[in-house]
Amino acid sequence: MGVTMREVAGRAGVSVKTVSRVVNDEPHIRPATRALVRAAIAELGWTPNASARTLRTGRTGVIGIAVADLRRPLLAAVVERLVTELDRHGLHASVEPTHDDPARLASVLAQRGHTFDALLVVDAPELPATTAADEGGPVIRVEVTRRPPAAQVAGTDAVSADLDQAVDLALRHLQVMGRGRAVRLGPGPLAEREQVRLVARVDPEPGRVGRAAGYRAAQRALVDQPGVDALICGTDEIALGALAGLHAAGVEVPGRVALIGYGNLDDGRFSTPSLSTIDPDPPSLARGAVDLLAARLAGDDQAPRAITVPVALVQRESTSGPGAR
């Protein structure tokens, strides 16, 4: 026979009712008590009866995570952080890739109130106009590479990386490093913001994405913009491909061309040269989104909120030379 809730209560030194309240993530429980109960659950390896909890509370304890594409390393990193934060709140995650397909997203949205108690939407296209009017549970947008619509317009909460700050940091850094002939390689947040509209742009060939796009686009930039001395890459994936393309063309980085990306992927730390980048801070994005979601589930009915998370410049060798790690 498995571990019971009564045994968990005994280990934690609390009542069975308190264990139930912690499991159901009810408000007004002292943090110390909540920590004791969760520690007892972990020690005993107890798994709550999900079916019983659903009948008792009307909730499944499962949160859907609709993500545009798990093949994008940055989005995958954000999803991983969201799962960790949900676990911290005693909630379970179900990851649902939508592949930028509005029909797939609509299908996931329709499961709120049945399969999912709420939904976290990561870098998805526009939500249906009826999203906020539904009573299926809260929706929190988590925007990493896209600018979210105003929360009041969309009717949903939004937690987003500060993409305007990202571009400002990249442009100022390159200016300080003495680079005045930059070219932007798209797509991606650093290539599409309004602040860089006056910077020459080279788009990838149709059908090419990620590193393959960056490889060819960087080589084409050398031909189309002979005086180029910096590449502002939409994402780290494009930047890593651009590094390979410049190396194949015999161009020294950062000697002749400096290069910066967006995403702070681990691969950039170990590339040669290491990659300067903008860090959108996935842990803070995830923490902000899940804390907001938990508040909504606990009854917070304030107007929709738009929370902007600061980003940071990570200065490495591709803009600053050897030794910048």
Q: What is the pLDDT of residues 219-267, one digit of tens each?
A: 999 999 989 999 999 999 999 999 999 999 999 999 999 999 999 999 9
Q: What is the CATH number of the domain that holds 227?
A: 3.40.50.2300
Co-location of 51 and 72 in the same domain: no
Where residue 210 falls (left for φ over 0; alpha for ψ -120 to 50; beta otherwise) is left
pLDDT at 46: 76
pTM: 0.79
Residue 139 lies in domain: 59-161+281-310
* Same domain flag for 68 and 87: yes
Residue 208: per-residue pLDDT: 67
Looking at residue 299, its pLDDT comes to 82
Please check whether residues 227 and 184 belong to one and the same domain.
yes
CATH number of the domain residue 43 falls in = 1.10.260.40
Q: 325 in a domain, yes or no?
A: no
151 has a pLDDT exceeding 70: no
Q: Which tens digit of pLDDT belongs to each residue from 166-195?
A: 999 999 999 999 998 999 898 888 877 766
Q: Please report the DSSP string for 108-162 in residue order.
A: HHTTBTTTBSEEEEES-SPPPTTTTT--S--EEEEESSSPPPPHHHHTSEEEEE-
Q: Which of 13, 31, 55 is the last residue of a domain?
A: 55
Question: Which of 7-21, 43-57, 70-84, 287-301 comes out lowest in average pLDDT?
Answer: 43-57
Percent of the chain surpassing pLDDT 90: 45
Q: Which of 91-105, 137-151, 261-275 has the highest mean pLDDT?
A: 261-275
139 and 87 within one domain: yes
d(CA 89, CA 79): 15
- Please tell me which residue, 303 or 56, carries the higher pLDDT value: 303
Answer yes or no: do 249 and 297 share one domain.
no
Predicted confidence band of residue 51 (pLDDT cuts 50, 70, 90)? very low
| 8 Å CB contact between 247 and 291 | no
Average pLDDT for the chain: 85
**Closest to 183 (Cα-Cα) out of 248, 256, 249:** 256
Distance of alpha carbon 246 from alpha carbon 257, whole angstroms? 9
